[in-house]
Amino acid sequence: MDKIKYWTAELHCHIGSDAPKNTPQAIASKVRELAAKEKVNAVWFLDHDIFPDKSFFEKLEPLPVPVMPGIEVSSSFGPTRLVHIGGLFPKIPDYWPFAKPDWSGGLQSRINTVAALPHPKDVIEAILESGGLPILFHPSNIIPWTSLRLSEIRKLAEDIDLKLVPLELNSSCIYAPSHQSIIELAKELGELTLVGGSDAHDPPLIGQKRTLFPRYNDNPFSDLRQAVNNRETIVVGNNQTFFQWLILMGQRIDLNPTFTKLLRSYYFKKPEKNEADKIKKNYLENR
């Protein structure tokens, strides 16, 4: 592929309270590093159930790549089935119909909150009506919490056209075992599109899993939407290792920070086997 003619986009990078290490300064440093290596030339920043604050983009130092907003929406596929739907946008929409859920309180309160969430179908339709691109984030039969099971995606396909709703191959090691099943499901449901996302809650993970798509009009959002429609996306990058996942979890709960810092300095610098060829081969074979 001619790199000049293709976007290499990070579609799933978190900011906000759930990703405290992804500060504007840390993100800018990592994105500049990736851009210099031609690994990333477009980035979407997301938060859970709210759009990134405009002040976040104002605090970002000038970057050599376009940056855009997104949202990861909590929805309910049943009384206790919390699932996340992603929405990517060219800009923050003027109107958004869903409020941020209140997760305070005990277990019963949280169960009640899940039961009151919108259905994934309603979230997908709201994203489309607001000018965005919906994505089924990290579908998985292995870890079904916050993830649509593949059987649920089949049911969803009976109620809504998923041709413009890509399935994400997520870089996290807890979702990676489902990747081949997702590829097969995409073919089963009529050649659905696949995209890659790193689900980065920490700067070293930004760009770990990316989506390649053509630069039709040199506009990353409209080009991504057209690529999804044309099924011209390719997933590249590495899966997060189990050690990386353990280190990040340890950092989040401040579990022996000195020890996790030492591990982090080693494992995040250790070269990982690139899965791009394998994923591309699987994807093209199932087109």
Q: At what angle do helices 150-159 and 179-188 cross, to 10 degrees?
A: 30
What string of DSSP letters covers 207-222?
Answer: TSEEEEEE-SSS-HHH
């011209």: which residue's tokens?
Answer: 232
**Domain residue extents for the chain:** 3-240+273-285
Which of 278, 187, 201, 213 has the alpha carbon at shortest distance from 240? 201
Is the pLDDT higher at 45 or at 107?
45
Task: For 3-240+273-285, give the CATH class.
Answer: alpha beta
Per-residue pLDDT reduced to its tens digit, 53-86: 888 888 887 899 999 999 999 999 988 899 999 9
- C-beta neighbour count of 235 within 10 angstroms: 23
231: three-class secondary structure by DSSP: coil
Distance CA 105, CA 115 (A): 15
Distance CA 64, CA 40 (A): 10
pLDDT at 98: 97
Per-residue pLDDT reduced to its tens digit, 88-145: 999 999 999 999 999 988 989 999 999 999 999 999 999 999 999 999 999 988 877 7
> What sign results for the dihedral spanned by CA atoms 100, 76, 131, 16?
positive
């087109």: which residue's tokens?
Answer: 287
2: three-class secondary structure by DSSP: coil
Distance CA 207, CA 111 (A): 34
pLDDT at 279: 46
> What sign results for the dihedral spanned by CA atoms 258, 25, 8, 196?
positive
